[in-house]
Structure formats: C-alpha cells, structure tokens
Amino acid sequence: MSALKGVAVALVAAGAAGLFYGNLSWTKTTHAAQIGSLELQVKDQRTINIPVWAGVAAVMVGAGILLMPIRK
C-alpha cells in the first residue's frame, strides 16, 4: 500500500470516528500548591467539539483519494 493510500485510510477512519463520537474530552490535573505533606490539586475538564462537516469532509476526501486511479 502506498503512503497516499495510507493517508486516505487514516482520513476515512478519523472522519468516521469524529462522526461517531462528536467530541473529545479529557481531565487535566495540575498541582496548585504543596505545603509540607499537604498537596492541593485542581482538576479541569477540557472538551473539543468536532463539527459534523469536518467528519463528513474527512470521509469524502479520504474516499476520493482511495477511488482515484493511480497513474504510473
């Protein structure tokens, strides 16, 4: 499989995952302060929303690359 086909498969997979999940979220833990053995932590939840158009575009571009004939 050529590198271009690998990129196309990755685009289709990423686009499908974006359409299926819709957003990415994770928790970021930071150490606010430490006084002796007492440690204070702050947990911040971050979320990135993936637009539907981006998922559809990634699937379409990946599928277009896969369906393109290879000229040698």
At 27 the pLDDT is: 93
What percentage of residues in the chain have a pLDDT greater than 90? 49
Domain region containing 41: 3-67
pTM: predicted TM-score of the whole model, two decimal places: 0.69
Residue 56 phi/psi, 5° resolution?
A: -65, -40
At 35 the pLDDT is: 85
Number of domains in the chain: 1
What is the C-alpha to C-alpha distance for residues 17 and 9, in angstroms, rounded to an integer?
A: 12
Whether residue 72 is contained in a domain is answered as no
The single-letter code of the amino acid at 12 is: V
Whether residue 57 is contained in a domain is answered as yes
Centre a 10 Å sphere on the Cβ of residue 16 and count the other Cβ atoms it contains: 14
Q: Does residue 59 have a pLDDT over 90?
A: yes
